[in-house]
Amino acid sequence: MTDVLDPPVHVEPHDGGHEEHHGPTGILNWLTTTDHKVIGLSYTVTAVIMLVIGGLFAEIIRGQLATPNGTLVSLAQYNELFTMHGSVMIYLFAGPFAFGALANIIVPIQIGAPDMAFPRLNALSYWLYLTGAITMLSGFFTAGGAANFGWVGYAPLSNSLNTPGAGADLWIGGLLLTGFSAIFTGVNLVATIFYLRAPGMTMFRMPIFTWNMLVTAILILLAFPVLTAGLIMLYADRHFGTHIYSVAGGGVPVLWQHIFWFWGHPEVYILALPFFGMVTEIIAVFSRKPVFGYKGMIFATLTIAALSLGVWAHHMFTTGVVLLPFFSIMSLLIAVPTGIKMFNWIGTMWRGQIWFSTAMLMAIGFLFTFLIGGLTGIYLASPPLDFFTHDTYFVVAHFHSVVMALVLAGMAGLYYWGPKITGYLLNEKIGKAQFWFLFIGSQVFTIPLYILGLQGMPRRMAVYPHDPQWKMLNDLSTLGAVLIGLSTVLFVVNVVVSWKKYPAGDNPWDAHTLEWFTTSPPPHHNFYRLPQIRSERPTWDHNHPEHRALHHGEHEPAHENAGAKQ
Amino acid sequence: MKVEAKILLGLGLFFGLMCAVYWNWSLENAGGVMMFAAMLLGFLPGSYYYWWSRRMKQRPEDNPQATQTQGAGVVGAFPGSSIFPFVMGMGAFFVVLALVFGIWLLVPGLGLVVWALLGGTAEGRRGGQH
Ligand code: HEM
Ligand SMILES: [Cu+2]
């Protein structure tokens, strides 16, 4: 089949050879590496550890709420726990996992690049992320405990009078470090995608995952500097006697909310778009079809990103000082491109030869769970309904449907791309068991919370009134949390059990995109040779020359021996 | 390069429109300023890319018919390993700890940052280790 290959040429690093790479080994190798795959792997491991830490906090929270007057933790500890649970999950798990871990590893390979555009900056991003995580978590070891003003750090609760102590400052410091880390990753991704694509890899041939990462990176560059500036002002208020967020000195507390959410809502999409990209690839590969509506998908992503900058104050409806109609209309408009994506995902599966691998099950679980989160979001975008449910468990349930969908998608990504990174597959039986625990657990955990929220149970409370129905619903939710916890245990068990057991080969899924053309794991600088790139599925075209002409949007029944791999 | 430029210009245009509508309607300044800045972030690099895209000849990655041979040659320097990102990261760590635990931590912090800046630049000039 080499006849369809161009002569094996490859971009040469200027030392001439990409195969013989003599670097330091062991711990020194880890400290000095600039290889995007190693950095990405460090990100992956660190982010999964953060998921486990944040998950442990969540289990303690749910343990406390299993009874109306729980005594597992004190009221003060509860405040620290929900603050650090939210902070660890959002700042230290979901974001870095999305744009530091998988994107770092996969994007350069998907576009045929030897590395990220700025490898040393990439390494710096990781060190800032790691030290930022350590900084934020070290709050638990200070006298006053960790930050306890919620993951949003609203003024004036976060000022030096209401929250003195090192924990809050460590929270701010940790966010400064991880904020710069994110910004550098954003710069790196944009430069890589704009400048390091392989010949023939035009913009409209890039895999959807890469497209989504480009848009995510642009959003990072728009949003994160705002948060960083806001945090510096918060620190100044706390220590230098400025009054930016305090009424006393002529400042405006609600300014913090504007700044925070001007970052915070785009952050929702910074978290979500990478996972949307993952499931798009996975659904196409395991339906054995091209992505349905490829350009529509890209257009939807760009529209979501653009609109996401104009909706921040839907988190502030109840402050009474925001322009309700503007933010309501903009928020509702986002449902349109998101709906397009939903239809495209279903369209991709439609009449495909579906292979229910663990990755595919996780992706389908994502669709279902995200649909619930998306629909309840539409309720919240309507001010009258939000007035009623704001700060109740309805909101907690809404965004947990969304984030649990992202966890499902992230797991799909690990099962799908893990073999490419490590060279070994994970056990599918344990994987499927993990899926059912995670998927059912997510629903059992969130659905009671919707009901509790509608009945008025406020969030961020360690105790609640004695009421048999509330106790029953809270117990159900705790049961869901336990199921989710068990799913994480199964994942760890799977990694241990499958350790170097099932060699993956270059392309175990008969997948479409360039990363499946190279070896697993890929060599230093990624490729020994590249195929012709004539569509958005170069590896597929190369492996199935008889189907080269297939274009996206075509409803061709999948080819013979499609199911052979099952 | 044209597609890249148009994405950024399009985003800039959208944010500009949104900024105008929002600022005039809400009379709220924080959001208006932030959306104005977002518009600039679309326009500044976008117009620069657009200007370039009209002056340079088509790159192989923009050519749908390109063969891999057209991409042969040096694409850039990719240092195989470097200690300076780590040094810089530790420096930044100490600078942030200085915000919390005492100003004296700025000494090691800024020291490491400066070392990493100088060392990293010199290494870049040499073309990096491999
Ligand atoms: C095992 C899975 C999880 C469980 C059982 C869980 C449980 C909870 C509960 C019960 C609360 C409300 C605490 C309160 O208001 O008193 C909460 C808050 C929160 N959770 Fe989760 N969660 C889980 C996963 C996640 C994930 C994956 C994310 C994000 C990626 C996340 C982000 C948040 C955030 C941002 C808050 C708000 C914190 C605040 O009010 O300041 N959670 N979680
Ligand atoms: Cu929002």
Would the pLDDT of A486 be above 90? yes
Contact present, A93 and A51 (Cβ < 8 Å): yes
Contacts of B85 in chain A (CB under 8 A): 34, 120-124, 126-127
Q: In this structure, which residue's CA is closest to atom 23 in ligand 1?
A: A58
Q: Name residue A360's amino acid.
A: M
CA of A455 to the centre of ligand 2 (A): 23
Q: Name residue A87's amino acid.
A: S
CA of A12 to the centre of ligand 2 (A): 45
Contact B68 A22 (CB under 8 A): no
A31-543, which class in CATH?
mainly alpha
How far apart are alpha carbons A119 and A111 in whole angstroms?
16
DSSP string of A447-479?
A: HHHHHHHHTTPBSS-S-----HHHHHHHHHHHH
Which ligand 1 atom is the nearest neighbour of the CA of A393? 15
Contact present, A517 and A531 (Cβ < 8 Å): yes
Would the pLDDT of B34 be above 80? yes
Pairing of strands A424-425, A502-503: antiparallel
Contact A312 B31 (CB under 8 A): yes
- Closest ligand to C-alpha of residue A460 is 1
CA of A88 to the centre of ligand 1 (A): 10
Residue linked to tokens 């550098």: A184
CB neighbours of residue A255 within 10 Å = 16
Q: How far is B89 from chain A (nearest CA, A)?
A: 5
Mean pLDDT of A88-107: 94
- Could you give the 3-state DSSP secondary structure of residue A503? strand
Residue A146 token pair: 């960790």
Helix, strand, coil share (%) of chain A residues, nearest 5: 65, 0, 30
pLDDT at A548: 59
Q: Name residue B8's amino acid.
A: L
The verdict on whether omega for the bond into residue A225 sits within 30 degrees of 0, i.e. cis, is no
Contact B69 A23 (CB under 8 A): no
Of the candidates A12, A14, A239, which has its C-beta nearest B127's C-beta?
A14
Contact present, A502 and A69 (Cβ < 8 Å): no
Between A253-287 and A358-380, two packed helices, what is the crossing angle to 10 degrees? Answer: 140
Contacts of B49 in chain A (CB under 8 A): 194
How far apart are alpha carbons B120 and B114 in whole angstroms?
10
Contacts of B4 in chain A (CB under 8 A): 194, 203
Would the pLDDT of A302 be above 90? yes
Contact B83 A13 (CB under 8 A): no
Beta-bridged to residue A502, according to DSSP, are: A425
Residue linked to tokens 């057991």: A501
pLDDT band at A18 (very low <50, low <70, confident <90, very high): very low
Contact present, B124 and B76 (Cβ < 8 Å): no
Helix (H) or strand (E) segment spanning residue A394: helix A393-422
Mean pLDDT of A500-513: 92
Beta-bridged to residue A370, according to DSSP, are: none
Higher pLDDT among residues A19 and A152, named by residue: A152
Contact A534 B80 (CB under 8 A): no
CB of A89 sitting under 6 A from ligand 1 = yes
Q: How far is A319 from chain B (nearest CA, A)?
A: 14
CB of A381 sitting under 6 A from ligand 1 = no
pLDDT at B127: 59
* DSSP-assigned letter for residue A102: I
**The dihedral of CA A256, A259, A260, A265: what is its sign?**
positive
Higher pLDDT among residues B75 and A291, named by residue: A291
Contacts of A6 in chain B (CB under 8 A): 67-69
Closest CA to A136 of A181, A103, A105, A99: A181
- Could you give the 3-state DSSP secondary structure of residue A542? helix
Mean pLDDT of A204-214: 96
pLDDT band at B39 (very low <50, low <70, confident <90, very high): very high
CB of A396 sitting under 6 A from ligand 1 = yes
The separation between the first and the last C-alpha atoms of chain A, rounded to the nearest angstrom, is 24
Of the candidates B79, B90, B92, which has its C-beta nearest A119's C-beta?
B79
pLDDT at A9: 38
Contact B11 A218 (CB under 8 A): yes
How far apart are alpha carbons A545 and A241 in whole angstroms?
69
Which residue in chain B is spatially nearest to A222 when comparing CA positions?
B38
Which residue in chain B is spatially nearest to A254 when comparing CA positions?
B30
Residue A349 token pair: 């599966």
Residue A267 token pair: 């952050």
Would the pLDDT of A348 be above 90? yes
CA of A220 to the centre of ligand 1 (A): 23
CA of A480 to the centre of ligand 2 (A): 25
pLDDT at A556: 46
Contact present, A338 and A374 (Cβ < 8 Å): yes
Q: Among A72, A366, A400, which residue has the most ligand 1 atoms within 8 Å of its CB, making it the best to mutate? A: A400
Would the pTM count as exceeding 0.90? Answer: yes
* A365-382 burial: b if 16+ Cβ within 10 Å, else e: bbbebbebbbebbeebbb
Which residue in chain B is spatially nearest to A114 when comparing CA positions?
B78
Please give the mean pLDDT across all residues of chain A.
91
Mean pLDDT of A57-85: 95
Q: What is the pLDDT of residues A402-454, one digit of tens each?
A: 999 999 999 999 999 999 999 999 999 999 999 999 999 999 999 999 999 99
- Could you give the 3-state DSSP secondary structure of residue A248? helix
* Sequence-distant (≥ 6) Cβ neighbours of residue A358 within 8 angstroms: A412, A415, A426, A428, A431, A432, A434, A435
Under the phi-then-psi rule, with left for phi > 0, alpha for psi from -120 to 50, and beta for the rest, what region is A61?
alpha
Q: How far is B51 from chain A (nearest CA, A)?
A: 15
Beta-bridged to residue A503, according to DSSP, are: A424
CA of A230 to the centre of ligand 2 (A): 18
Residues measured by CB to lie within 5 Å of ligand 2, the ion: A 265
CB of A405 sitting under 6 A from ligand 1 = no
CB of A400 sitting under 6 A from ligand 1 = yes
Percentage of chain A lying above the pLDDT 70 cut: 92
Between A36-64 and A119-137, two packed helices, what is the crossing angle to 10 degrees? Answer: 20
pLDDT at A494: 97
pLDDT band at B1 (very low <50, low <70, confident <90, very high): confident
Residue linked to tokens 């030290």: A131
How far apart are alpha carbons A213 and A208 in whole angstroms?
8
* Sequence-distant (≥ 6) Cβ neighbours of residue A131 within 8 angstroms: A177, B89, B90, B92, B93, B96
CA of A60 to the centre of ligand 1 (A): 11
Contact present, A521 and A448 (Cβ < 8 Å): no
- Could you give the 3-state DSSP secondary structure of residue A197? coil
Domain boundaries, chain B: 2-63, 84-126
Out of A243-252, A449-458, A482-491, pick the least confident.
A243-252
pLDDT at B74: 66
Contact A166 B84 (CB under 8 A): no
Residue A522 token pair: 């890929």
Residue linked to tokens 């060190």: A127
pLDDT band at A557 (very low <50, low <70, confident <90, very high): very low
Would the pLDDT of A550 be above 90? no
Contact present, A119 and A35 (Cβ < 8 Å): yes
Mean pLDDT of B101-107: 94
The tally of CA atoms less than 13 A away on the side-chain side of residue A503 is 3
The verdict on whether omega for the bond into residue A521 sits within 30 degrees of 0, i.e. cis, is yes
CB of A88 sitting under 6 A from ligand 1 = no
Contacts of B108 in chain A (CB under 8 A): none
CB of A39 sitting under 6 A from ligand 1 = no
Beta-bridged to residue A531, according to DSSP, are: A5
Contact present, A506 and A520 (Cβ < 8 Å): yes
